[in-house]
């Protein structure tokens, strides 16, 4: 293996890739054995993040979240989860048989997005649910809000629980001088290298403090990972870390200055808004279009059709860009100019901010039971009263509006329609 034997494919496609797409050999090492070049690269990555241990993941942060939850919680136990969590968290609860206790982070005043998880919310949750084994927090969020993890870690540990941070969007933090979740006191953290570091898709890291042994971590990551991890992805995890340590970090820090300039210009010269959080990822560009009378979907379409710019994600009120060290100042200037022109073109539109509240559906059966139940497709508009058999989550960002086992109601349907679903969209529900 691999079957291509290092030869080029059709018309030189993947020429360079096949030459380093290895399998386990004494020289190339084995991801699931604690020796050789992969372990050496993992140790360097642990150092970059200031963590005690690092495991490479070739199945994205999804694999890391599954592994992390399996390390702290067993079947029939409970965890506390912020409802802003990615669907991989709740899917893992279903797979392992964990029951989550949720809390909803507050909305940012005047906007249709959540703030980051607060210490108050975590404190209330651990007091209400002293039997929980761990607290899972998403920081930074897709929209760029970051939590005060140091204070949260203290609260969680005083309640004798573990803190897991879904830091999928924060792998670049050490490169820009920000602390990683483990340095802030988390026990486990998961970072998607492929989102904000120059790594290949599916590359991610599971980071741990000294509470976990290397063998515990390997057991957990191998349980949820392929037995043929991609050497290309692993090489990119090593290279992107080295790149950021060597000169990429400076590029990252420089681009932040440009992002700040663009934000200021958008604020001053357009009708769009930039949400401000207490703490945030300085590289996330979230533009709120609501006040201009334009939807985020429409602005995204203008950017694509008239300026050949694709955003990372759009919803009713926002367009979001993940800016990395590989974006040039020139590209950001073009993006800024596009925002200025779109705002000018539609300056006479009437607007009214109409913030959305996130629905809070109620569970009728466990996530596990619903996920593994007999299911049927149902048109969204006809799903009122039915029980979801899958996480119903606009993707991106993959944050479930309705979890498996929860009853869909009119408020959920209306909310999904505002978030890009259409009336004839099909959802999977538990067979009645």
Ligand X SMILES: Cc1ncc(COP(=O)(O)O)c(C=O)c1O
Query: Interface with ligand X by CB under 6 A: which residues?
Result: 60-62, 86, 88, 138, 142, 166, 168-169, 192, 204, 396-398
CB 61, min distance to ligand X, A: 3
**Beta carbon nearer to ligand X, 196 or 209:** 196
Residue 204 CB, nearest approach to ligand X (Å): 5
**H/E run at residue 321:** strand 318-322
At its nearest, how many Å lie between ligand X and the CB of residue 105?
13
Chain position whose Cβ is nearest to ligand X: 60
Q: Using an 8 Å Cβ cutoff, are 409 and 361 in contact?
A: yes
Q: Give how far Cα 121 sits from Cα of 16, 115, 135, 277, Å.
A: 49, 11, 11, 16
Q: What are phi and psi of 58, to 5 degrees?
A: -110, 10
What is the smallest separation between the CB atom of 374 and ligand X, expressed in angstroms? Answer: 28
Least Å from the CB of residue 201 to ligand X: 8
State the DSSP H helix or E strand holding residue 166, giving kind and residue range, or none if neither: strand 162-166
At 36 the three-state DSSP class reads: helix
Buried b (16+ CB within 10 A) or exposed e, 249-276: bebbeebbebbeebbeebeeebbbbebe
Q: For residue 21, what are its two tokens?
A: 């797409």
Please state, in angstroms and rounded to a whole number, the distance separating the CA atoms of residues 63 and 423: 33
Cα separation of 333 and 327, whole Å?
11
The region, left, alpha or beta by phi > 0 then psi within -120 to 50, assigned to residue 398 is left
Per the listing, tokens 């996130």 go with 358
**In the complex, minimum distance from the CB of residue 64 to ligand X, in angstroms, rounded to a whole number:** 8
Report the residue number, 167 or 327, with the smaller CB distance to ligand X. 167
88/236 with CB nearer ligand X: 88
Distance of CA 288 to the CA centre of its chain: 20
What residues contact 172, with CB distance under 8 A and at least 6 apart?
196, 197, 244, 252, 283, 324, 325
Which CB sits closer to ligand X, 88 or 295? 88
CB nearer to ligand X: give 61 or 230: 61
Give the position of tokens 């830091």: 167
Cβ proximity to ligand X: between 169 and 407 the closer is 169
Q: Of 192 and 383, which CB lies nearer to ligand X in the complex structure?
A: 192
Based on C-alpha coordinates, what's the Rg of the chain? 22
Tell me how far apart the alpha carbons of residues 133 and 161 are, in angstroms, rounded to a whole number: 5
Q: Shortest approach of ligand X to residue 194 CB, angstroms? A: 6
Cα angle 43, 44, 45; round to 5: 90
CA distance 301 to 27: 49
What is the closest distance, in whole angstroms, from the C-beta atom of residue 28 to ligand X in the complex?
Answer: 24
Minimum distance from residue 140 beta carbon to ligand X (Å): 8
Cβ distance to ligand X smaller for residue 394 or 398: 398
Nearer to ligand X, 137 or 175 (CB): 137
Beta carbon nearer to ligand X, 64 or 405: 64
Give least dist CB 114 to ligand X, A.
12
């Amino acid at each position: 293996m691999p079957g291509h034997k290092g030869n080029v494919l059709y018309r030189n496609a993947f020429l360079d890739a096949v030459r380093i797409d290895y399998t386990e050999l004494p020289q190339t090492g084995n991801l699931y054995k604690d020796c050789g070049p992969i372990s050496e690269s993992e140790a360097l990555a642990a150092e970059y993040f200031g963590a005690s241990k690092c495991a490479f993941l070739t199945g994205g942060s999804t694999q890391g979240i599954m592994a992390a939850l399996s390390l702290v919680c067993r079947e029939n136990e409970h965890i506390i989860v912020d409802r802003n969590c990615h669907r991989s968290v709740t899917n893992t609860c279903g797979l392992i048989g964990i029951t989550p206790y949720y809390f909803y982070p507050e909305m940012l005043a005047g906007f249709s997005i959540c703030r980051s998880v607060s210490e108050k919310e975590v404190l209330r949750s651990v007091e209400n649910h002293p039997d929980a084994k761990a607290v899972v927090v998403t920081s930074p969020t897709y929209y760029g809000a970051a939590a005060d993890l140091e204070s949260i870690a203290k609260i969680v540990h005083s309640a004798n629980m573990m803190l897991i941070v879904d830091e999928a969007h924060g792998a670049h933090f050490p490169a820009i001088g920000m602390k990683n979740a483990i340095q802030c006191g988390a026990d486990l953290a998961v970072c998607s290298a492929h989102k904000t570091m120059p790594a290949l898709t599916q590359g991610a890291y599971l980071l741990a403090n000294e509470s976990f042994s290397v063998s515990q971590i390997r057991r957990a990551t191998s349980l949820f990972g392929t037995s043929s991890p991609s050497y290309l992805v692993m090489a990119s995890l090593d290279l992107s870390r080295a790149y950021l340590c060597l000169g990429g970090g400076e590029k990252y820090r420089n681009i932040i200055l440009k992002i700040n300039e663009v934000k200021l210009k958008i604020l001053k010269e357009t009708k769009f808004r930039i949400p401000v959080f207490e703490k945030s990822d300085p590289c996330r560009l979230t533009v709120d279009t609501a006040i201009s009378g334009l939807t985020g979907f429409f602005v995204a379409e203008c950017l694509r059709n008239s300026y050949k710019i694709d955003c990372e994600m759009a919803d009713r009120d926002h367009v979001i860009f993940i800016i990395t060290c590989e974006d040039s100042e020139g590209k950001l200037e073009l993006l800024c100019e596009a925002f200025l022109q779109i705002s000018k073109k539609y300056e006479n539109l009437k607007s009214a901010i109409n913030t959305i509240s996130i629905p809070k559906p109620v569970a009728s059966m466990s996530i596990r039971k619903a996920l593994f139940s007999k299911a049927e497709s149902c048109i969204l508009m006809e799903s009122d009263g039915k029980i979801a058999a899958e996480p119903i989550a606009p993707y991106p960002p993959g944050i479930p509006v309705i979890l498996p086992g929860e009853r869909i109601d009119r408020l959920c349907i209306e909310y999904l329609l505002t978030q890009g679903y259409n009336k004839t969209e099909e959802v999977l529900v538990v067979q009645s």
